[in-house]
Structure 1
Amino acid sequence: MCPQATPPGTTADPTTAGATTAGATTAGATTAGDPDDTEFRALLDRLSDKATADYYNPFTTFDWPTTIPTDALWMSPELLSVHGTEIMDELSPAQLRALSRWESVNFYSLNVHGIRELLIEVTRRIHTPGFELPSTFFHHFVGEENDHMWFFATFCLKYADKIYPDKSVKLPEAPRDPDIENFLVFARILVFEQIVDHYNVHLAADDRLHPTIRHINRLHHQDESRHIAFGCRLVQLLWERLLRGGLDEAARHDLRTYLDRYVAISIGSFYNPAVYRDAGIPSGFALRNRLLAHPARQAAHARVLHKTTGFLRRIGVFDA
């Protein structure tokens, strides 16, 4: 979870406190007159040290079984897209197990596509003006995300013989202003990582699932906890930079609308008609629309998003 911002006049632990003063003019470069970046540096050092201490070789860490039984759960029932609705009660145990299998594969496929996007965006910014300070941590970030993409893709191909294609609706192009573009890139990355981590935590702890599934999610959460701590700090710094630059209300509204749309698209990607088809459930597109509008699913979305929306409200991006 993103840390709370430090109240004015208090002294924060630089490894856990919110970024209210650190590195405020850019995400990393410090020039004459910039606020002190000691807190941000301390966080980056701590996260880099932790990444080094936690390092594992993904190519030797996993003992991939030949198969994962298809008559067992692959996804926690509480995380299925039908959970809490009358539709779940209408499905047979065999259909629910099939749905858990294909929604599991869809989840890892979403990770493959999301990681590909964030790797492109982060590597474009390593060792560029404005990102001097976090660039060392970016190297840890990129290496770990590349490992994640490999083991998620390996799971899909080994046990389902496919990766679901990316069918999400594309967002409009972000504004050309580099400060706004940087903010939106890292805000999207943070939203994506926090949604995924909600699932990782539950799946890693669910002893109804195969050990390989739990292992993948446990390792991913271990790394993502660092990425999220970094992302919260960086997004706040980039937002504060926009505010100091005179971001007007119309521009703020456009940013909120853009991020609202991204959140909706991200949540909608968990309702995949191809998954329903593969699970033997008819009328996948109609079912998707029915589920997305269901009150129980709306409540589930709020639970998945509460850390993200809470953080964006707290720093002033979303309205209270």
Structure 2
Amino acid sequence: MQHLRNKNSEQRLIELTGRLSRMATEDYYNPYRLFSWPQTLPEDELWMSEDLLSVSGTEVMNELSREQLLRLAKWESINFYSVNVHGIRELLTEVTSRLYAPGFEEFTDFLHHFIGEENEHAWFFAEFCRRYGGRVYALPGLKTQDPADRTTENFLVFAKILIFEEIVDYFNERMAEDASLPETVRQVNRVHHKDESRHIAFGRQLVEVLYSRVRDEATAQECARLEQYLKRYVTWCVQSLYNPAAYRDAGLAEPLALRSRILRDETRRQAERRYLRRPLTFLTKVGIFQDQTIQAV
């Protein structure tokens, strides 16, 4: 019975990738012509939605002047796109290595679309950072241990990609709709959100299929270790949004101490749950997570 369910899931995935590939072809755009980058963005406007800032809801937020808040929004915007650049770089390496690999033959056409779109996303996010911030922030790496087998490695790679994309898409969707932001900010987020909707639909179905292959061979203890590994990755994603370099560039005093103070504020847990809700709900629903408890940041 389990074998039959797996086959049905894989067939649904094959059909889905065909539809998504056709959509990607029909919706194709040239990002190098799409964006008209203004020379500057207004410094008297927020560059990130206020409720998405890392200080939102905290006592620190109440202590900032309007000028400080605007500077922080600018540099947290640069940090958010920098996080995207580094995340995309990692996923491009992993996905490219799996083109035409055993087990991925049926998905090759869509993966080509996926790689092409993600490469273009990395370009326009980095372009935003360089034009309006003069830099792409560095991002600390996550130390991992290589899985013992290729089946498990495939699952973890695409589960991490899905988690990353789901978190990013929450921010994209919110900022695309925020009329208080400069149009360039809204456009970058709007364009990315449109493409990511296809990537997330594919990722959810693929992760479910890949996990079924792992679960067929793994013990309960091994599945529990995979859950903890992915939960550590969720924590790492959350931590990347609290960048002391952004606090420093915004002119805020003692950025490392400030980061610690913000992270200790329990109101941040509520904000984090909002942008983690979709990935955690999905991973719990399909049995990859047994609960939605995440290690404290």
Which structure 2 residues correspond to residues 49-64 of structure 1 after superposition, within 5 A?
Answer: 49-64=22-37
How far does residue 140 in structure 1 lie from its aligned partner after superposition? 0.3
Cα deviation code 1:181-231 (max 9, x no counterpart): 111000000000000000000000001111111000000000000000000
The answer as to 2:48 corresponding to 1:44 is no
Q: Does 1:67 align with 2:28?
A: no
Matching residue within 280, 305, 316 for 2:251? 280
Q: 1:163 to 1:185 in 2, by over 3 A?
A: same
* Residue 155 (structure 2) aligns with: 183
For the residues of structure 1 that align with 2:75 and 2:257, how far apart are their CA atoms? 18
Secondary structure in 2 matching 1:133: helix
Higher helix share: 2
Partners of 1:177 and 1:38 lie apart in 2 by 24
d(CA) in 2 for partners of 1:267, 1:313: 18
Letter in 2 for 1:185: V
1:101-180 matches, within 5 Å, as: 101-168=74-141, 170-180=142-152
**How many residues are matched?**
290
What TM-score does the superposition give when structure 1 sets the normalisation length?
Answer: 0.88
Give the AA of the match of 1:223. D
Matched with 1:269 is 240
Per the alignment, residue 210 of structure 1 pairs with: 182
Shift of 1:167: 2.1
**C-alpha RMSD over aligned residues:** 1.5
| Pair 1:200 & 2:158 matched | no
- CA drift of 1:36 comes to 7.5
Distance 1:196 1:112 in 2: 11
User: Equivalent residue of 1:319, what SS?
Assistant: coil
- The more displaced of 279-288 and 224-233 is 279-288
With the length of structure 2 as denominator, give the TM-score of the two structures.
Answer: 0.94
Cα distance in 2 between the residues matched to 1:151 and 1:36:
35
- Higher alpha-carbon deviation: 45-54 or 95-104: 45-54
Q: Which moved more, 1:134-143 or 1:171-180?
A: 171-180
CA positional deviation for 1:295: 1.2
Residue 255 (structure 1) aligned with residue 206 (structure 2)? no
* CA apart distance, 1:21: 6.2
Deviations 1:226-282 (A, max 9, x none): 00000000000011111112x112211211111111000100000000100111111
Distance (Å, rounded) in 1 between the aligned partners of 2:274 and 2:158? 22
Structure 1 portions without partners, runs of 5+: 1-7, 9-19, 25-33
